[in-house]
Structure 1
Amino acid sequence: MATITGPLSGAAKETVAEALQGALVDLIDLSLVAKQAHWNVVGPHFRPLHLQLDELVAVVREHADTIAERAVALGVNPDGRSATIAKSTKVTQPDATWIEDGKVVATFTDVLEAVSKRMRDRVDATAEPDPVTQDLLIAVTQDIDKQHWMFQAQR
C-alpha cells in the first residue's frame, strides 16, 4: 500500500497532527450545526440569519478541506467521519427544533468565541513545530473571528 510521508517527524508531527485533527473536527461540526440552525431559524430576522449561516457554512467547509489536505501533505490521515466528529466535538449543539432568531445569534456568538479560542491555542501549539500549519490556522482564526463579530453585532 502506498503511503504519504511529510517533512515532520516525532513530537513535532504529533503536535501538528493533533492541532489539525482538532481544527478539522471543529470546522466540520461547525458547518453541521450552522446548517441545522439555517434550516430551523424562525423570527423577524429569519432571512438575514438564514443567509449568514450559509455564509458561515461555506467559509468553514473551505477551511476544513484546506486543513485536511495539510494533514495529508504532512503524512497524517485526517478523520472527518461522522462517528469521529460525534465522539470528539466540543462544539455546542443547537436545539433540534425551531430556533428563535435571537437564540441563534446568542448561540453562534458563543460557539464561534469558543472555536476561536481553540484555534488560537492551536496557532500557539504549531508555532515552533510547523509555521506553515500555523499560518493556515491563523487564516482559519481570522475568518472565525470575523464571523464571531458579525453574529455578536446582532446581539
Structure 2
Amino acid sequence: MANTNPNLKTPSDLARNETKSVADALNSALADCFALYLKTKNFHWHVSGPHFRDYHLLLDDQAAQIFAVTDAIAERVRKTGNTTLRSIGDVARHQTIKDNDQPFVAPEAMLAELRDDNLKLVESFRAVKDAAEEAKDNATSGIVDEWTDQAETRAWFLFEASRKI
C-alpha cells in the first residue's frame, strides 16, 4: 500500500522503502484488529448461558480495547508516509484472523477461539516490531509493545475465564 498520491505525502526522516515494510506489517495487524473486534462483538451479542453477564461484560470491554488500538495503528501508518486500509474489502484481503459466521457458538468455544485469535494478533504485532526495528522506526517499535501486552492480557483473561478447576 505505498503512498503514490502526492496529496497524502507525509514528512518522515525514515527511508521510504523501509517504511513500506513497516506499513505493510501495520496494515496486516490493523486488518486483524478489525476482524478480531467484529468477532468479539459478535460473540458479545450472542453469548448465552449461566455466565452470560460475566462473559457479556468481558467481551464488551475487550472489544472496546481492540477498537481503540485501530486508530493508533492507522495513524502510525500515515505518520510514516504510507497509506492505510480503506474498506471492509481491504480488511478482508489483509486479515489472517478467520471470521466465525456460525449461527451458534458455545460460550466455552467462544472464549477459546478469541484466546487463540488474540495470540495470533500477538504474532502480527511481533512482525510489526521486527519490521520497525529493521527500519529503525523507534516510535512504532516502542508503541507496539503496549499493543502486544494488551493482546496477551486479553488472551490470559479469556484463558482464566474458561478454566475448569
- Distance in 1 (alpha carbons) for counterparts of 2:145 and 2:11: 21
Cross-structure match for 2:131: 125
1:56 to 58, 62, 65: 62
Output the aligned Cα RMSD: 1.5
- Kept in 2, the 8 Å contact 1:28–1:80? The answer is no
- Please say which of residues 89-98 and 77-86 is displaced more in the overlay: 89-98
Cross-structure match for 1:141: 148
Per the TM alignment, residue 80 of structure 1 is displaced from its structure 2 partner at its CA by: 4.1
1:28-55, CA deviations, whole angstroms, 9 ceiling, x for partnerless residues? 1111111111111122112111111111
Matched, 1:44 2:46: no
Cross-structure match for 1:154: 161
- Distance in 1 (alpha carbons) for counterparts of 2:130 and 2:119: 17
2:78 to 72, 82, 87: 72
1:17 to 20, 23, 32: 23
Cross-structure match for 2:11: 6
- 3-state SS of paired residue (1:103): helix
Q: Identity percentage over the alignment?
A: 28
Per the TM alignment, residue 95 of structure 1 is displaced from its structure 2 partner at its CA by: 3.9
- Distance in 2 (alpha carbons) for counterparts of 1:6 and 1:49: 44
- Distance in 2 (alpha carbons) for counterparts of 1:56 and 1:133: 22
- Distance in 2 (alpha carbons) for counterparts of 1:146 and 1:80: 29
1:90 to 93, 96, 107: 96
Gaps of 5+ in 2: 1-5
- Distance in 2 (alpha carbons) for counterparts of 1:128 and 1:87: 25
Matched, 1:29 2:32: no
- Kept in 1, the 8 Å contact 2:25–2:131? The answer is yes
- 3-state SS of paired residue (1:96): coil
- Distance in 1 (alpha carbons) for counterparts of 2:98 and 2:16: 33
Per the TM alignment, residue 152 of structure 1 is displaced from its structure 2 partner at its CA by: 0.9
